[in-house]
A = this chain, B = another copy of it.
Amino acid sequence: MRTINVAVLGLGTVGQGVVKVLREHEAVWPQKCGARIEVKKALEKYPDRPLDIEFPADAIVSDWKEVVDDPEIDVVVEVIGGIEPARTFILDALKHGKNVATANKDLLAVHGQEILNAAEAAGKDFFFEASVGGAIPIIGPLRQSLIASDIQHIIGIVNGTTNYILTRMASEGVRFDDALKDAQALGYAEVDPTADVDGIDAARKVAIMATLAFHSKVTLKDVYMEGIKEITPEDIKFAAKMGYAVKLLGICREEDQQIEARVHPALIPSDHPLASVNHTFNAIFVKGDAVDETMFYGRGAGRMPTASAIAGDVVEISRNILADCCGRIKSSSRGSAKAIRTIANVNTKFFLRMVLEDKPGVLAQVSKVFGEKEVSIAMVLQTNRDGDGAELVVITHKVREGNLWDALHVIEKMPITKKIITVLRVEGEE
């Protein structure tokens, strides 16, 4: 029986997890894929770093050449993260006839097409199931089971940190800063939480999903981004009163050959399957022409879930090695670059909160401006703020975003307007 030899690049949390999963299931690989799978080497910049796992010291190398020039290595698992040296290692590995599995969303969101093309040129497998949604199978289904449907849109909760923060804000009414502190204390948020709370991490995943779903190159810079720092418990409370939850959503959509790709907090109806995805869980909702609605739910991060997805890729690669068909899934996005729709041209509903002077006729004045800019109102809630004016909470019908902002710029300058507090999009309903 053949042994598939794996080299793991980076013995960090996930790298050690991959070694653990591959070893713990050692006995079942022959039954599951017809081969033995062994971790032969690890590349680690800091060979003295303390490990949670046992790993033979002489199998830890710090020189890339010792991996790429080793003819016995069949599969390279890249879990260093970041752009360089990961990009160079992966391209070099493919060129040397090795297959690659990675969880590296930072790299894929920027250089994904380059690497997919390189894999195709080399006739090797390049798999990245763990890059979006951690343990949730979404890359595989988008490339395989769902391939026969034209995907219309994808709406995902693809960042566990922000979902945890918003869940705490919704269930306990705590403010963003306090929820973030708790998330950091629990290890759900980094010391520098920027990539998560500003939506960058989610935007990377949107770029990867959009590329696969719409068979056209979409990169990080194509993704419109807003984070959750400005969300308040009051926003969440008003949204709930109107039948909505507030989530950080990663959205991509194709319409008229144009692609929308955006990440921002948004309201979503309470009975939408995404609304009850809480804490650090992730979920990805896919709508396609034949498949209709489908959703994938699970652990978006964590050592073992992520390692499970990477190890699944290694098993698939092993099957392809045995059947001599590495590279059998080609990139469907090669050479295609559909236009990206600017955010001003996107059509969505909006949730607005504004403080106006508390006197008769203010609603009429605001409505008039909305009407002139073709913003149609679906729902209004007017509440008194105890002498501090009247608060108007509005949900609009679908409107071109540019028109909404035109209206708000006029309203902002009207003498009756004290403050525009919140502008959030509303998703997940027609």
Contact = CB atoms under 8 A, between A and B. Distances in A.
A147 B292 CA distance: 26
Given A308-B291, A325-B320, A140 B150 contact: no
Interface stretch (A30-38, A79-87, A410-418): A30-38
A145 interface: yes
B308 A215 contact: no
B273 A290 contact: no
A305 B332 contact: no
Contacts of A327: 323
Contacts of A311: 148, 290
A296 interface: yes
A110 to B, nearest CB: 23
B312 A145 contact: yes
A293 interface: yes
A190 B310 CA distance: 43
A315 interface: yes
A145 B131 CA distance: 13
B304 A299 contact: no
Contact of A141 (B28, B140, B304): B140
A302 interface: yes
B320 A328 contact: yes
A392 B145 CA distance: 48
A146 interface: yes
Q: How large is the interface on A (under 10, 10 to 19, 20 to 34, 35 or more residues)?
A: 35 or more
A304 B292 contact: yes
A136 B149 CA distance: 12
A135 B312 contact: no
Contact of A144 (B316, B323, B324): B316
A307 B25 CA distance: 35
A322 to B, nearest CB: 7
Contacts of A296: 294-297
A24 B150 CA distance: 10
A329 interface: yes
B294 A137 contact: yes
Given A31-B332, A296-B296, A298-B294, A312 B137 contact: no
Contacts of A310: 148
Q: Which residue, A28, A147, A315, has most C-beta atoms of chain B within 10 A?
A: A147
Contacts of A258: none
Contact of A292 (B276, B290, B302): B302
A14 B2 CA distance: 41
Contacts of A201: none
A30 to B, nearest CB: 10
A430 to B, nearest CB: 17
Given A319-B329, A325-B324, A145 B150 contact: no
10 smallest CB-CB distances across A and B, nearest first, come from: A325-B325, A294-B298, A148-B311, A137-B145, A290-B308, A323-B328, A323-B325, A295-B297, A137-B141, A291-B308
Given A290-B311, A323-B325, A325-B325, 18 more contacts: A22-B148, A28-B215, A33-B147, A129-B145, A135-B290, A137-B137, A137-B146, A141-B141, A144-B315, A147-B312, A291-B298, A291-B308, A293-B299, A295-B296, A296-B296, A320-B325, A323-B327, A324-B324
Interface of A: 17, 21-22, 24-25, 28, 31-34, 129, 135-137, 139-141, 144-150, 215, 271, 273, 276, 288-299, 302, 304-305, 307-312, 314-316, 319-320, 322-325, 327-330, 332, 336
8 contacts: A32-B147, A140-B140, A141-B141, A148-B307, A148-B315, A149-B312, A294-B296, A294-B297
